[in-house]
Copies of this chain bind each other. A is one copy, B any other.
């Protein structure tokens, strides 16, 4: 069942805004067993919207269109669509009532620009007429055109609760689509490519995809078929083939991310953690606390961005800083240990490094970082070198530090340093 997505807005084709709506809709449709054949973004432009719509009518069974439904002058989707489909624009009473209720609650007056939102192409059916937000559907040449607002939250709510169920109910024979994503860190792209090649003769109809997702690498497995349990078990079989070769690098699968995977592990083992961050500035704590319920295992940390704060807060010795420098094995170990002054956690994690663009030298270039982890009486540390801009280096340091926690709990060796 092929459909496509059209997103409308000058902000999209000028690069001012990232098109999150298209991605969300594409992901939801694909996960539901529907196929997206094309995503097109055009500006608030009569000719381009009209051309794109005609093209979509030629080859798709349904089209999700977002944007251009608001009150401002550049919101012209209804008008353009009416012209493109040779339909009149009509004042829709149901839509007008809905808008009136909505704005009255906010104490806003009905102006012509707000009323404009109720002028819809003839034959439009309103989706979710009782709710605060809504879209509409037009059937043209047997193709269903769904018009949704460009505001991401509204678009998502309407897509998930109204549009997707409707499309799925119309097309009963949607094949079951199984998909999984394996997320890896610490393995080179060409190793993954070689692994995929090595198992190629055994993967059957499962389609493998490989996508770098800095600093992670993701492998996708997908398969469609009529028999859902068979699809699921076939994907599992191929996942096992991959795990046989790359298991230590796989930190999560599906929608789980690194911090959720670690949170799960810490909860399972009843372990707690605290962090001492230098170059990452708080990013590790931020990531750990993105997980709801993380207060069960994350107790807090310090951001010791200056030498003075390393001494004052977590007792890094002045002598250590003078002799070895703030970015050194000795310092990171003292940081991890110093945290214990405040945090009675099972694990303490510390990082110190040079995120750049300045501050590097011949012995410790930009991207040099030390990671330290203390657990009971044990303390581990390692030096790494990362590449990229400041944001990438901070991100990769935080990922490597979190990967240390995962590997420590699993009893796997840490990724070797330099």
Contact = CB atoms under 8 A, between A and B. Distances in A.
Interface stretch (A230-238, A261-269, A305-313): A305-313
Interface residues of A, number: 91
A358 B305 contact: no
A190 interface: yes
Interface string A130-153: 000000000000000000000100
Contacts of A355: 289
A12 interface: yes
A66 interface: no
A391 interface: yes
Oligomer: number of copies: 2
A25 interface: yes
Interface in A229-288: 274-275, 277, 279-286, 288
Contacts of A26: 12-15
Nearest to A281: B289
Contacts of A36: 13-15
Interface in A175-217: 181, 190, 193, 196, 209-213
Interface in A32-84: 36-43, 45, 48, 52, 55, 71-72, 74
A290 interface: yes
Between A36, A52, A213, A218, the greatest number of chain B beta carbons within 10 A of the residue's beta carbon is seen for A36
A30 interface: yes
A9 to B, nearest CB: 9
A125 to B, nearest CB: 26
Contacts of A282: 275, 277, 281-286, 289, 301, 303
Interface string A77-120: 00000000000000000000000000000101000000000000
A324 interface: no
A394 interface: yes
A128 interface: no
A18 B10 contact: no
Query: What secondary structure prevails in chain A residues at the interface with B?
Result: mixed
Contacts of A301: 282, 302-303, 305
A193 B72 contact: yes
Contact of A309 (B18, B74, B342): B342
A299 B292 contact: no
A91 B370 CA distance: 46
A300 B292 contact: no
A394 B26 CA distance: 27
Contacts of A24: 15
Nearest to A304: B300
A20 to B, nearest CB: 7
A203 B39 CA distance: 34
Contacts of A275: 282, 303
Given A18-B23, A358-B293, A390-B290, A306 B299 contact: yes
Please give me the 8 A-B residue pairs with the lowest Cβ-Cβ distance, nearest first. A15-B27, A281-B289, A282-B282, A282-B285, A15-B26, A300-B309, A300-B305, A39-B41
Given A282-B282, A283-B286, A300-B306, 7 more contacts: A13-B38, A15-B31, A39-B40, A289-B355, A290-B391, A293-B358, A313-B342
7 contacts: A16-B211, A18-B18, A37-B42, A71-B193, A72-B196, A285-B285, A301-B303
